[in-house]
Amino acid sequence: MPQLRKDPVTKRWVILLHEQKKLPADFKIEHAPKQTNKCPFCPGNENMTPVELMSYRSENTLPNEPGWQVRVIPNRFPALQIEGDLDRMGLGVYDMMNGVGAHEVIIESPNHEDGFHNYSSEQISRVLHTYVERYRDLSRDRRFRYILVFKNNGSAAGASLDHPHSQLIATPIIPKRVMEELEGAKTYYYYKERCVFCDIIRQELSQGERIIHENESFVAFEPFASRFPFETWIAPKDHKDCFGDIDKSEIDGLADIMQATIKKLIKTLDNPPFNFIIHTSPCGEHCTDYFHWHIEIMPRVTKIAGFEWGSGFYLNHMSPERAARFLINPNYKG
């Protein structure tokens, strides 16, 4: 019989379908053909991109030239633009403002064929340090209320270029998905005087059946009310609301668990397209008591259709408990 599960943070319901026990190979993944045109993100093509904002590079190399390990540039086709004032206004019942924000691309490696699954821990640490530096810099801009760091890996996940990269968008409003988490976490805190994410992490560590990896500082697990097959969250074990407050030792631990987790997903699902998104507290908001930053990783192995769009429910053909077994044990047959 199908099972309904409720997310304790957002109060969103998920339908787990048990009419057939799917295996990882049952999720057919369509891989787009490799791009053959000249890649603007490859070394030597720096003149094809906007001027870089920052980079990690070898000594005695100049900006906008080869020699970099990680490079940040403005998006050539930004969703929001950095210049201008918000100029909030109303038009009857409608609210408007100028599309002011920031949209940046983090080119994660000079190697076109690289990816999080085969980066060294040092390279992942460089990428994470870049996220943190750009987050801290943009959070000082009082026009911005939220900074979203995310990665689209593969064309089915929204990537327009094969070269490994992630993106950052700073917005003058708090996104709806984040507001749902904030409101749910705040309600839980006022009722129980505890962080709901901390309670989830404690329970997952205690039960163990949905944990796929952990180290001293972080834990990776399949959430109880997973929206998608093999949806995976990574969260710090200690309570911390803002991703920008992470320190160097924590970055090394995060690099370790991200590498291990993404390797498991890629091996189990045969290199699926995926998204990951860093959920953090809004800029300047006092969420210290009740919010807990985390990363959500979503392999794109199923499609959202009319029922999901119309109802807000999600249909998931793979329970998080079975997904965890496949990810932990490559020989598990289901």
Return d(Cα 256, Cα 189) in angstroms, integer. 31
**Strand positions, DSSP E, 83-158:** 89-91, 94-96, 102-107, 146-153
Using the Cα atoms of residue 279, residue 219, residue 8 and residue 228 in order, give the sign of their dihedral: positive
Catalytic residues: 165
Using the Cα atoms of residue 177, residue 98, residue 81 and residue 170 in order, give the sign of their dihedral: negative
Q: Are 67 and 56 in contact (CB under 8 A)?
A: no
Residue with tokens 């540039």: 73
Return d(Cα 37, Cα 157) in angstroms, integer. 20
3-state secondary structure of 51: coil
Cα 4 to the center of its chain, rounded Å: 25
For the chain, report the end-to-end CA distance as a whole number of angstroms: 18
**Strand positions, DSSP E, the chain:** 3-6, 13-16, 54-57, 68-74, 89-91, 94-96, 102-107, 146-153, 165-171, 211-214, 218-221, 232-236, 274-279, 294-299, 314-316
Return d(Cα 63, Cα 52) in angstroms, integer. 7
Return d(Cα 205, Cα 211) in angstroms, integer. 7
Q: Which two tokens stand for residue 223?
A: 């959430």
Return d(Cα 12, Cα 8) in angstroms, integer. 8
